Amino acid sequence: MVKHIVVFKLKGDAAVRLDYARRFADALRALPAQIPVLESIEVGINENPAEDWDLVLTAVVPTMADVALYAGHPAHVAAASIIKDVKESRACVDYVL
């Protein structure tokens, strides 16, 4: 199994970032029903104003090849498009459990 962890930093004031983060989180949480290789996903919106990152997701898929299947799936691409205009930074770690 592979754990896929991604953090996002968004552009804009706090209200704008929170609005986008909420919409993106809702779309991500719907993905397990749409993407067969996605065993689970957990999404959190940062509530600590002293930190710079806005949202984190942790997904579990069977193999590293499945990370690519998940990333390229049309439902994931549609979810990612929600933040395309406000995404400032993204960091990712994938590791085998």
Q: Identify the pLDDT of residue 53.
A: 97
Q: Identify the pLDDT of residue 39.
A: 97
Adjacent-strand bridge partners of 90: 8
Q: Which two tokens stand for residue 88?
A: 């400032």
Report the mean per-residue pLDDT for the chain: 97
- pLDDT digits over 38-72, tens only? 999 999 999 998 999 999 999 999 999 999 999 99
The label of the residue with tokens 């994931």 reads: 76
| pTM of the shown model | 0.94
Q: Which two tokens stand for residue 6?
A: 């991604």
